[in-house]
Structure 1
Amino acid sequence: MLRRLVDVLKTLLQSRAVRRLLYVLLLVAAAATAAGCEASKPAFSGAEGKLKVTATIGMITDIVRNVGGERVEAVGLMKPGVDPHLYKATKGDIDKLTEADVVFYNGLHLEGKMASILEKLAAKKPTVAVSRNIDVSKLRDMGDGSGAYDPHIWFDVLHWMNATETVRDELIRLDGSHAAEYRANADAYLAKLRELHEETKAKIAQIPEKGRVLVTAHDAFGYFGDAYGIRVMGLQGISTASEAGLKDVSQLRDYLVDNGIKAVFVESSVPKKTIQAVVSGAKEKGHEVRIGGELFSDAMGEEGTLEGTYIGMVRHNVDTIVNALK
């Protein structure tokens, strides 16, 4: 009986169709084995299978670390004192962007010099603008006829809550097995941001209404002014790519003199010489204007300090403004 079965098998193997079928079956088995091995590898490229995230500005890096927690390995490209409007990516930055599983950036042309790099990355991996879900009707028009919007959305804490939700949703999409952890982290962070929003409103309200005028080196605080009821005037435009001229300096100087404004503010990421020219010009006209303090606009403080976090940065700015103008 066994010999007969062997003879039948030999006869079948002599058939070309049967040999082809066996070959196909072997290929399918090999592919299934390979897929099983691949599935057993860590899902992401970071240490211990963590999601590897690269962000452009520090404020976004801070969101990622708060929402991602232990599940992400987050790095930021732009350091304290760096102006994102003028920033050009280095070779090291390109490596960090290329190695990331997901890239978060602000959008609205904030990272203007990196636009082509981000566009190429988007064809290869998730490359997410944290501003993408903010209602366009709530964005500030640049006012130059370009149809572009003010990119400094983090100065309205409610907008930054929206950005936090965008980061949360993308992390969940990429790493759904840890969705509960991302949601819990985001809920805790959003609660802190809500508290920060209410706290900021209360503090700015301490400034007498007539004195609620914030004069800075460039027009980065527009969303802040709209959200918290303070008039904002910047020496330079929304983007620091356009330099302030003598006319800008003299117009702002005259405004300070005519309205008795007592304090102006410098910014950590913008050269101080132009705003100091305004102060000197006012003094020549017999009006004393002092530097009310340094604000963080397009970059946060040093890592490891309170100002090196988004919440700490906002609190520093608000306290500095209120102490100078109250």
Structure 2
Amino acid sequence: MQQRVWQRSASWRGWRKKVVAACALAFGAAPVVQAQAPAPVPVVASFSILGDLVQQVGGERVQVRTLVGPEADAHVFQPKPADARSVAAARLLVVNGLGYEGWLERLLRNANYRGELVRVADGIEPLPARDSHDHGAKAGHRHEHGHDHGEHDPHAWQDVRHVIHYTQRIAEALCRVDAPGCDHYRQRAQTYTQTLRALDAEIRAAWAPIPPQQRKVVTSHDAFRYYGHAYGVQFLPAQGVSTSSEPSAAGVARLIRQIRAEGVRAVFVERLTDPRLVQRVAQEAGVTPSPVPLYSDALSPPGGPAPDYVSLMRHNTRAMVEAIQGRP
């Protein structure tokens, strides 16, 4: 008797479990679905330094394509159809401005771009372009041969304080195209700004032991005036603002005389430029160019000495300070 009662009880429990399971399916016990991360925002940056800054601010929420990559020269860049297609597909295009991207308007027309465009240098106080009688070409002669940057020097990223401004401009632009990620962008911009402020202080500390009258550096082209203005260094460029400029014989001779008269020891070739002019200047002035190149307008590839903006500024500062101090 007890055995039959137990069997009926067990059957009842089994039937009840089946009923409960069926009701759960019938009345909306939906399967658990994990929330998927949003697709990265497609962003195009005009050259490698800006590409790094966008990645620092955007993190995993952005997919960055750089038009002018590491160790490539934006001064002589010629956009290809593939570049126009990349720009057309982007939601945000980040450029320097101040006339640096002389090819930009043509590219925008070819791409029929309708997305967000931010010129990160807008809002800073630009330095004027070097006068025509300075190291460069003859009076009245255009340096750039189609790459004239106009009345302003565009290389504003050589002052770290300006890159703090760039960072904020990039975060604001990303917020406009991806409002749900705005807190993410602002937090990353704040964190990176702290890194940049520490970098600015580090550069100032590196130059502090060197008397101001000894802070003289010869470079290939006129890309470091913002650095010089910010950190008290006098740069003597062999060429003008663009790497495609043609210096005059008189300008080169004047530079050689100045190196001799002032005992300038820090002579550098930049990574993107033809070394022959600086080598000739150094030879005639009786000095030896540094074996370490400077990075002015582009990053190095990964694994190089300047794969990101912070590394670039540290590398250049260390190289220049050591050259002036006579260290290898």
Quick one: distance in 2 between partners of 1:183 and 1:69?
A: 11
Q: Among residues 140, 151, 162, which one is paired with 2:127 in the alignment?
A: 140
Quote the offset at 1:279 in angstroms: 1.1
Quote the offset at 1:311 in angstroms: 0.3
1:255 aligns to 2:258 (yes or no): yes
Q: Among residues 222, 227, 251, which one is paired with 1:224 in the alignment?
A: 227
The match for 1:205 is 208
CA contact (8 A) 1:217 1:235 kept: yes
Secondary structure of residue in 1 paired with 2:93:
strand
Q: TM-score, normalised by structure 2?
A: 0.78
CA contact (8 A) 1:60 1:104 kept: yes
1:89-123 superposed Cα distances (whole Å, 9 cap, x missing partner): 12222221121111111111111133322366586
Superposed counterparts of 1:162-173, under 5 Å: 162-173=165-176
Aligned pair in 2 of structure 1 residues 122, 160: CA closer, same or farther (>3 Å)?
A: farther
1:160-218 superposed Cα distances (whole Å, 9 cap, x missing partner): 11011000000011111111111111111010001001111110122232210011001
For structure 2, list consecutive stretches of 5 or more residues without a partner in the other structure.
Answer: 1-36, 133-148
The match for 1:293 is 292
May I ask how many residue pairs the two structures share in their alignment? 273
Superposed counterparts of 1:93-242, under 5 Å: 93-118=83-108, 124-134=114-124, 138-144=125-131, 148-242=151-245
Quote the offset at 1:238 in angstroms: 1.2
Secondary structure of residue in 2 paired with 1:73:
strand
The match for 2:316 is 317
Secondary structure of residue in 2 paired with 1:158:
helix
Quick one: distance in 2 between partners of 1:112 and 1:260?
A: 37
Letter in 2 for 1:316: H
Quick one: distance in 2 between partners of 1:118 and 1:213?
A: 40
Superposed counterparts of 1:262-281, under 5 Å: 262-281=265-284
Quick one: distance in 2 between partners of 1:125 and 1:113?
A: 18
Secondary structure of residue in 2 paired with 1:236:
coil
1:58-99 superposed Cα distances (whole Å, 9 cap, x missing partner): 111111111101110111111222221111112222221121
Secondary structure of residue in 2 paired with 1:225:
helix
Letter in 2 for 1:55: A
Give the structure with the larger helix fraction. 1
The match for 1:7 is none
Aligned pair in 2 of structure 1 residues 48, 269: CA closer, same or farther (>3 Å)?
A: same
| RMSD between superposed Cα atoms in Å | 1.9
Aligned pair in 2 of structure 1 residues 291, 306: CA closer, same or farther (>3 Å)?
A: closer
Between 1:152-161 and 1:262-271, the stretch displaced more is 262-271
1:101-150 superposed Cα distances (whole Å, 9 cap, x missing partner): 1111111111113332236658611121111122xxx2111145996211
CA contact (8 A) 2:45 2:64 kept: yes
1:261-282 superposed Cα distances (whole Å, 9 cap, x missing partner): 1220110111111111101211
1:282 aligns to 2:291 (yes or no): no
Quote the offset at 1:153 in angstroms: 0.7
Sequence identity percentage:
33
Quick one: distance in 2 between partners of 1:186 and 1:224?
A: 22
Quote the offset at 1:247 in angstroms: 2.0
The match for 2:64 is 74
For structure 1, list consecutive stretches of 5 or more residues without a partner in the other structure.
Answer: 1-46
CA contact (8 A) 1:206 1:322 kept: no
Quick one: distance in 2 between partners of 1:292 and 1:197?
A: 25
Quick one: distance in 2 between partners of 1:169 and 1:122?
A: 23
Aligned pair in 2 of structure 1 residues 243, 141: CA closer, same or farther (>3 Å)?
A: same
Quick one: distance in 2 between partners of 1:148 and 1:107?
A: 13
CA contact (8 A) 2:78 2:103 kept: yes
Letter in 2 for 1:294: P
Q: Among residues 56, 61, 81, which one is paired with 1:91 in the alignment?
A: 81
Secondary structure of residue in 2 paired with 1:307:
coil
Aligned pair in 2 of structure 1 residues 78, 262: CA closer, same or farther (>3 Å)?
A: same
CA contact (8 A) 1:221 1:297 kept: yes
Letter in 2 for 1:301: S
The match for 1:246 is 249
Letter in 2 for 1:297: S
